[in-house]
Amino acid sequence: TTMAHNAPGQSAETITAEMARWAADLRFEDIPDSAVREARRYLLDTLGCALGGFKQEDAEIALAVLDEVAGEGPATVIGSGRSMDVVSASLANALMVRVMDYNDIYWQQDPSHPSDIIPAAMACAERMDKDGRELIVGIVLGHEFEMRLCEAAFPGIRERGWHHATLTAFVSPIVAGRMLNLPWEQIQHAIGISASRHATFGAVTAGKLTMMKNTVDPMATQSGVLAALLAEKGYSGPEHVIDGKEGIVHCLGPEWKLEVLTEGLGDSWRIERCGMKAFPTEALTHTPISAVLDIVIGNDLSAEDVATVRIGSTARSADILADPSKYDPRSKETADHSLPYVIAAAVADRQVTPVQFTQEKIMDPRIRAQLNKVEVIADPEIEKVFPELQRADVEVHTTDGRTFSTRLDFPKGDPRNPLIDSEIEAKFDALAAPVMTDAAADRLKEAVWGLEKQGSVTELMALATSDR
């Protein structure tokens, strides 16, 4: 099939053509029940994260700017319920989804958060007056290609200094284009338009963290929506943006296994391999948190009982999550990427939830008293099994001379130890509670669990409005 569209004498078609054609052809009926179920689960998790993100300072700033620059349009902004143009709404909603660092996580060669792309599907589905079944197609597509792009580079592009928002800029136009019912040729152009101008430096997640850490991926989602609108009207973009001259492979260097992007499309579904976050923190902190909570709660240890917590982890964890700045966190962005802080919170409060990342909590003397008890050690043996296993070896030494140790190979929320539906609901309820009454939250949950029966994405989005 890959050669069918080539006139005599033309070279073999580019990878973006194959990706675009598969996306254009994908129908709800092609997606198995197991993947549809995951789409519902990720949508509920994503909406919960957005409702939690609605009142975060970064989201409030961005929404104020969009109040000035955005136009009226068919897309609904989560929380406020405002109707906005699709480009602006996709940015607003994706930022709210991302801002607490609590939405989904996939980590192969690269980490990514495929649900950051769901707002592109939402906005464009609203513009086309689509139903819940079509939204499922958009959700599944975003996970499929984001996860494949993460898997295609050896080492991952983050290891080369680039952020995964670089990859999202290739995927969001596919999702937006399919939701706009574009023919495959226009989806291919949309990929070229977005991807060729949206590469993101790793600086946003290195060293001192700022609000941009959670903003670059939403901006890449927004980029894809704008690109799809341009392509719809006939705008063209480079078809060779992945595999051609000065495309991503050329510019970011070897080694790439490009067959990963298209091999076996439709035989299995990447959304079934993604993970969710049980904690609103950087992904590599999750296994250590899970292990420490098991020890502290299982043995009924108070913070005062704990003398030291030793954590064996990857070199990356020790380097990025336990550098000196992470022992003195002053902001939410630093605290949720600080292994000492999240472990200190687990020891002091026996939980790591959004409550632990308020300014008051970050400066709480009881939590801060635990920070220097935490020692992070890079373990080459753990490095060898990563990322197949996200292993953490944890030893807790008590003030009366006891030692408790445990090894965990993956955290709660990993597809090998998934959040069950009731746990996703509990997470949703906690995030929605400050902005939504129980009755409103229940209506939204019911609509998401019955997503295939929803006649209108716009009606669904209206349910995701704050009523407090």
Give the model's confidence band at 206: pLDDT under 50 very low, under 70 low, under 90 confident, else very high. confident
List C-alpha distances in Å: 261 to 84, 258, 269: 33, 6, 13
Each residue of 125-145: pLDDT tens digit?
999 999 999 999 999 999 999
DSSP 338-394: -HHHHHHHHHHHS--SGGGGSHHHHT-HHHHTTGGGEEEEE-HHHHHHTTT---EEE
Taking the model in full, what pTM does it have?
0.90
Res 72: pLDDT: 98
Q: Is the confidence at residue 8, as pLDDT, over 90?
A: no
> Of the candidates 429, 363, 329, which has an alpha carbon nearest to the alpha carbon of residue 45?
429
Maximum distance among all Cα pairs of the chain, rounded to whole angstroms = 80
Q: Is the pLDDT score of 6 beyond 80? A: no
Q: Which residues pair with 375 in a beta bridge?
A: 310
> What is the residue whose two structure tokens read 């998934």?
418
Confidence band of 283 (pLDDT split at 50, 70, 90): confident
Q: Is the pLDDT of residue 114 over 60?
A: yes
Q: 197, 226 in Cβ contact below 8 A?
A: no
Q: Give, in degrees to the nearest 5, the angle at Cα 176 between 174 and 429.
A: 110
Half-sphere exposure of 436 (CA within 13 A, CB side): 31
Mean pLDDT along residues 288-300: 96
What pLDDT, on the 0 to 100 scale, is given for residue 418? 93
CA 75/CA 43 separation, integer angstroms: 17
From CA 24, how far away is CA 186, in angstroms rounded? 10
pLDDT of 427 higher than 80: yes
pLDDT at 78: 98
More confident residue, 60 or 9: 60
- Please compute Rg for the chain using Cα positions: 22
Give the three-class secondary structure for 406.
Answer: strand
